[in-house]
Structure 1
Amino acid sequence: MDIVVLIGRILFVVIFLASAAGHLTQPKAMAGYAQSKGIPVPTFAVFASGIVMLLGGLSILLGIWPDLGALLLVIFLVPTALLMHSFWQESEPDARQNEMIQFNKDISLAGASLMLFAFFAATPTLGLTITGPLFIIV
């Protein structure tokens, strides 16, 4: 079962590590999009969100306080869904549909991250982690 959990962790974090790389290597392009969504201090927001995704993704991947990494991703995903993908504000049908898809993706990933948090905190010895969880749920 440990190998299955490890494979799942690897597959789960691919999107976050790839996105973090984009945020950290192309901050100006990403900041322009954030600014168009009304995000204050967009360059800082892009950099900070890239760091959060990188830390959360690496934490889960490497198994170093993976429960904390999962919480970091929840903290990133929920505001991102609400602030960056507010489909209800779009009037053009294609843009509305695209933002709805991105909103639903972020909310679904937030739910999965929350489940991972509970999983890691409740089963500290499963999954070939380097450290145990930071939080313990009994």
Structure 2
Amino acid sequence: MIYLYYDSRTGNVERFINKVVQITGWTALRIQDGLEVQEAGHLITYTTNFGKVPEKTETFMQQQAHLISSVTSSGNRNWGRNFAIAADKISENFDIPTAMKFELSGTLEDINQFIDIIKNQHYDSKRGSEKLDIA
């Protein structure tokens, strides 16, 4: 079973996750205060304030990073170089590979790419996959 841990403020990440779960049957848990993670999984979050990691995501990672195999972030391409940069910051701060970045709630192509990456590439390295840093 693959576990996905996600943070969503405007609903974009939640819509992305709901589509992934509908296709795969994977387990998705929304990050909230007191969430106790027992299983290794993948983080999906958003970028806020033109390039910041959401506070709830940051707190979650400080407590659970040892169980997170990859990070994926949504963003808005209008932010230029700060597009989905939360993934880059989390990757660097917690030494976790970036799986991918997608805009807003993602396209069907984004969803299929995410599923492929998680299913087929995340088992290849120390924490997931060095190959994952394709974003």
- The answer to whether TM tops 0.5 is no
Q: Which protein is richer in strand relative to its size?
A: 2
- Asked which structure has the greater CA Rg, the reply is 1
Q: Which protein is richer in helix relative to its size?
A: 1
Q: TM-score, normalised by structure 2?
A: 0.29
**Structure showing greater relative contact order (alpha-carbon pairs closer than 8 Å, 6 or more residues apart):** 1
Q: TM-score, normalised by structure 1?
A: 0.28
